[in-house]
Amino acid sequence: MTPAHLSTDGTASPGAPKPIRVVACEDHPVMREFLIEGLASFGIATAGVADGPALRAHLEAHQADIVILDIGLPGEDGYAIAADLRQVRPHLGIIMLTARDQTDDRVQGLDAGADLYFSKPVDLRELASAIGSLQRRLALSRPEPSPARWRLDGLRSSLVTPSGVAVALTDNELRFLTPLLDQPGEVVDREALSQALEHIHDIYAMRRMETMLSRLRAKVQKASPGEPLPVRARHGRGYAFLSEAEGPVPDQA
């Protein structure tokens, strides 16, 4: 049966509510597949990951509304992950799903930042209903999204595209992009960029910079087709990172 929010070809139906994006962080493969397949029967598309690092990598690369989080994960446990997510992603819904069913466990999970706490085994119909209810409640509290923009994640050495795709950067690529994104739309002269790269400002430094930028464009194109790197060369002066108002990016080094 096709879920109500999808048409027969799998695309969103006109006027339908936005599909809920769920990630299940569960280290047991059978339980993880049970959640993915079971929630799919209620029209809830769910991605699956096995531990905290995989969850964070998924959230960096993809948008999500709700995380279903086991407590007994390898390495960092679900309590610590929930506390961290609540700090860095305050509008993310967190549902604890675990075999631990004591009152102290529930209190610790809710104190860590979980919105809801379920014990295993779980009734999928009840879980799906709770996901829908939580999503509606979160939607009322979320601020209006700001215009999409490019940004640097210095902690993870990555460039994040407007659609949320994280592109890993080398140290030199990060040094090159930092002054450009600090002054979007403004020309940063080549000498300043050479200093940021700790290069002597000469013709060889310029050629290395052009080669690096060409490779960076290709890297961004591969990671996120349709989102070309908006860096424009200003002949004889330097480079500028375009603001959204400046229009499409021409193909140039």
- pLDDT tens, residue by residue, 214-233: 999 999 999 999 899 999 98
pLDDT digits (tens, 9 = 90+) for 142-193: 655 455 689 998 778 899 999 889 999 999 999 999 999 988 888 898 888 8
The mean pLDDT value of the chain amounts to 84
Q: What pLDDT sits at residue 233?
A: 87
Q: 22-141 architecture in CATH?
A: 3-Layer(aba) Sandwich (3.40)
Percentage of the chain beyond pLDDT 70 is: 83
Q: What pLDDT sits at residue 201?
A: 61
Closest CA to 50 of 80, 72, 65, 22: 72
Helices (H), the chain: 29-40, 52-61, 78-88, 103-112, 124-141, 171-182, 190-196, 203-223
Confidence of residue 5 (pLDDT cuts 50, 70, 90): very low
Q: What pLDDT sits at residue 202?
A: 67
Q: State yes or no: pLDDT of 131 exceeds 90.
A: yes
Q: What pLDDT sits at residue 185?
A: 86
Q: What pLDDT sits at residue 4?
A: 40
pLDDT digits (tens, 9 = 90+) for 195-209: 888 766 667 777 888
| CATH 1.10.10.10 location in the chain | 151-246
Q: State yes or no: pLDDT of 96 exceeds 80.
A: yes
* Residue given tokens 């908006």 in the structure block: 230
Q: What pLDDT sits at residue 7?
A: 37
For residue 179, cis peptide bond before it (omega within 30 degrees of 0):
no
pLDDT digits (tens, 9 = 90+) for 46-65: 999 999 999 999 998 888 99
| CATH 3.40.50.2300 location in the chain | 22-141
Q: What pLDDT sits at residue 154?
A: 77
Q: 151-246 architecture in CATH?
A: Orthogonal Bundle (1.10)
For the stretch 42-79, what's the b/e string if a residue is b when 16 or more beta carbons lie within 10 angstroms of its beta carbon?
A: bbbebbbbbbbeebbebbeeeebbbbbbbbebeeebbb
